[in-house]
Structure 1
Amino acid sequence: MKVKCLIVDDEPLARKLLQNHIEQLDMLEIAGQCSNAVKASEILRAMPIDLVFLDIKMPQITGIDFLKMLKNPPAVIFTTAYREYALEGYELDIIDYLLKPVTFDRFFKAVERYFVRSAPKETGVKIVAPQQQDDYIYIRTGNKFHRLPVADILYIESIRDYIVVHRTNQEKLPAKYKIGDLEEDLKGKQFLRIHRSFIVNMQKITAFTMQDVEIDKLQLPVGNSYREYVFKMLKS
């Protein structure tokens, strides 16, 4: 399911730029756009919105005041030409604070923060209902987010600044991630870091020792600094 986005900005060029950015990501769709808070309020009452790109300096009602008025606001990313409102924005628990003109790279990082913050509810990495057969995560490659069922993932291998997702009866999926960042996103789920180069799906482990874990006939080493923790986790 795509993330429904609302663009609220009184500058047509700024709305157009955000529209172009959103259209480059398959996981996002534009549900609406408008130039002021009054119209935005009407849109929010009329349809479900997941993520709002909200300008701060607007006529009649500022983006900050508008957000304060909402009882159950969707996720918000502020877009503005003014740095001085950043602290107040973060105090309102926004996802991110983008300075205009918004570059695609900075926009993309903000969207990734949304995916992480929204897990497990809506989609970086996204985890949905751990331990269920239809669990899945999202892995980004370039501008695409790949939806990977957890049941298909055997293990994740780190090769320098890249990871490779090894899957059951499917092609390997390489992606530019640091394994430490990925480990943090997966912490507390059914994945276990066993080595500086490997994270395994615990549901796929068929045997283990203090030195290695087995996934069917495949053996993966357990790093010296991980052994005590890995052995404890797998025996529990």
Structure 2
Amino acid sequence: MQPVKCIIVDDEPAAHYVLSNYIGQNAQLELVFEAYNGQDAIDYLKENSVHLMFLDIHMPDISGLELLKQIQNPPATILTTAYSEFALESYEYRVVDYLLKPIYYPRFLKALNRFFETNQNAEDEEEFCSELIVKVDSHNVNIPLDSILYTQSYGNYVKIVTQKRNYIATITTAELEKKLPSEMFIRAHKSYIIAIGKVEDMKKDRIIIKRTYIPIGITYKREISERLRDSD
């Protein structure tokens, strides 16, 4: 089972200390980024796929709820705040739970269990899906997952390279990564997602798929090496 990638978004260092400590006590979680303001979180989420976000509501410049409004397809979110008056409004978004500060570990675990229950239900619904549905030229296109070789980012568009043809889809790489099953695909670079089963060879800093050389980002190299070794 791949670890759940988490980020903390809070302007208070004390909150980061508590949450990072709690996350560190759970082997199924991996803290991949910490933001002290909303804009840094937005910039990170545009380029990276995240499973779970611990998000403070009251922050300067961009509040937690404003952040959720600005992000397309935000990750599952557990709100953290000292105020309870926004609880009802928060559930208009993809909010798993609402934690009141100070946050105690048993309550954190309860929210975490709720996330895993919700996530499992979503996985069960998608279990039999064998196609990727994306928008190409304002039309939805169904692409068989087993035909995809790799994808390449072009800003707010992604080129999806398959065995027969290429598609230019209106989606970001971070959004696409959430749609692709992690057992079949993995991020190789800031701009590339690859199909694990289609890799023909791996060199020092690149992967070869159908005579195409795909760069490997430094932050992704270790995980890619482990996944390719396990797939042998």
TM-score, scaled relative to structure 1: 0.51
Distance 2:41 2:27 in 1: 24
Change in 2 beyond 3 A, CA 1:128/1:45: closer
Which AA in structure 1 matches 2:54?
F
2:33 aligns to what?
Answer: 32
- Given that 1:119 and 1:128 are in contact with CA atoms closer than 8 Å, whether structure 2 keeps it comes out as no
Distance 1:45 1:129 in 2: 26
What is the count of residue pairs matched by the alignment?
Answer: 127
Gaps of 5+ in 2: 129-232
Which AA in structure 2 matches 1:48?
S
Aligned-pair Cα RMSD in Å: 1.8
Secondary structure at the residue paired with 2:98? Answer: strand
User: 2:32 aligned with 1:48, yes or no?
Assistant: no
- Once the 2 structures are TM-superposed, how far is the Cα of residue 121 of structure 1 from its aligned partner? 5.1
Distance 2:122 2:49 in 1: 14
Change in 2 beyond 3 A, CA 1:73/1:19: same
- Once the 2 structures are TM-superposed, how far is the Cα of residue 46 of structure 1 from its aligned partner? 2.5
Distance 1:4 1:70 in 2: 17
Distance 2:94 2:48 in 1: 22
- Given that 1:5 and 1:32 are in contact with CA atoms closer than 8 Å, whether structure 2 keeps it comes out as yes
Within 5 Å, give how 1:171-190 maps onto structure 2. none
User: 2:34 aligned with 1:2, yes or no?
Assistant: no
Distance 2:30 2:122 in 1: 17
Q: Computing the radius of gyration over CA atoms, which structure comes out larger, 1 or 2?
A: 1
2:114 aligns to what?
Answer: 113
Distance 2:27 2:51 in 1: 15
Report the identity percentage: 46
Within 5 Å, give how 1:130-149 maps onto structure 2. none
Change in 2 beyond 3 A, CA 1:121/1:93: closer
Which AA in structure 2 matches 1:56?
I
- Given that 2:75 and 2:94 are in contact with CA atoms closer than 8 Å, whether structure 1 keeps it comes out as no
- Given that 1:82 and 1:99 are in contact with CA atoms closer than 8 Å, whether structure 2 keeps it comes out as yes
Distance 2:90 2:21 in 1: 24
Secondary structure at the residue paired with 2:85? Answer: helix
Within 5 Å, give how 1:72-151 maps onto structure 2. 72-120=73-121, 129=127
Distance 2:94 2:44 in 1: 21
Change in 2 beyond 3 A, CA 1:105/1:127: farther
Distance 1:33 1:59 in 2: 16
- Given that 2:74 and 2:94 are in contact with CA atoms closer than 8 Å, whether structure 1 keeps it comes out as no
Secondary structure at the residue paired with 2:90? Answer: helix
2:12 aligns to what?
Answer: 11
- After superposition, the C-alpha distances for 1:15-72 in whole angstroms (9 at most, x for unaligned) are 1100000000010010100101100011112221100000000000100011011111
- After superposition, the C-alpha distances for 1:169-197 in whole angstroms (9 at most, x for unaligned) are xxxxxxxxxxxxxxxxxxxxxxxxxxxxx
- Once the 2 structures are TM-superposed, how far is the Cα of residue 127 of structure 1 from its aligned partner? 9.7
Change in 2 beyond 3 A, CA 1:120/1:83: closer
- Once the 2 structures are TM-superposed, how far is the Cα of residue 128 of structure 1 from its aligned partner? 8.8
TM-score, scaled relative to structure 2: 0.52
